[in-house]
């Protein structure tokens, strides 16, 4: 995924999250559960949603980082695949990363 796509995906994620929170608060306001002063504040379900999303994001980043490290050990910077016993890249001759 390119850097521009990552940025667009992240912005879309943030917009969707904020839309859900504002939508829930608007629904609460229409049903009489909150007042106009508390309309833009984070309610308990909104905080739970934010915390769950942050936990999910942390798990996703952990898995992604772990997979990237594993793939870096098996690939050279030039992109060639390195087998387990090889110490140097057969394409460019660069030493294996630790």
Residue closest to 72 by CA, chosen among 58, 57, 89, 60 = 89
Work out the average pLDDT over 40-55. 81
Rounded Cα gap, residues 87 and 71, in angstroms: 16
Q: DSSP character for 92?
A: T
Q: What is the pLDDT of residue 22?
A: 80
Work out the average pLDDT over 19-48. 77
Q: What is the pLDDT of residue 53?
A: 87
Bigger pLDDT: 84 vs 97:
84
Q: How does pLDDT run across 59-77, given as a tens digit for each residue?
A: 988 888 776 666 556 777 7
pLDDT range class, residue 36, cuts 50, 70, 90 = low
Residue closest to 80 by CA, chosen among 89, 88, 72, 71 = 89
Q: What is the pLDDT of residue 39?
A: 60
Average pLDDT, the chain: 78
Torsion of CA 42, 45, 50, 51, to 10 degrees: 120
């Amino acid at each position: 995924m390119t850097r521009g796509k990552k940025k667009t995906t992240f912005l879309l994620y943030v917009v969707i999250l904020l839309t859900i929170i504002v939508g829930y608060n608007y629904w609460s306001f229409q049903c009489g559960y909150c007042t106009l002063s508390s309309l833009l504040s984070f309610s308990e379900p909104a905080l739970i949603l934010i915390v769950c999303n942050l936990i999910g994001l942390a798990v996703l980043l952990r898995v992604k980082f772990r997979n990237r490290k594993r793939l870096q050990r098996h690939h050279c910077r030039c992109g060639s695949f390195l087998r387990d016993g090889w110490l140097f890249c057969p394409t460019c001759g660069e030493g294996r990363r630790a």
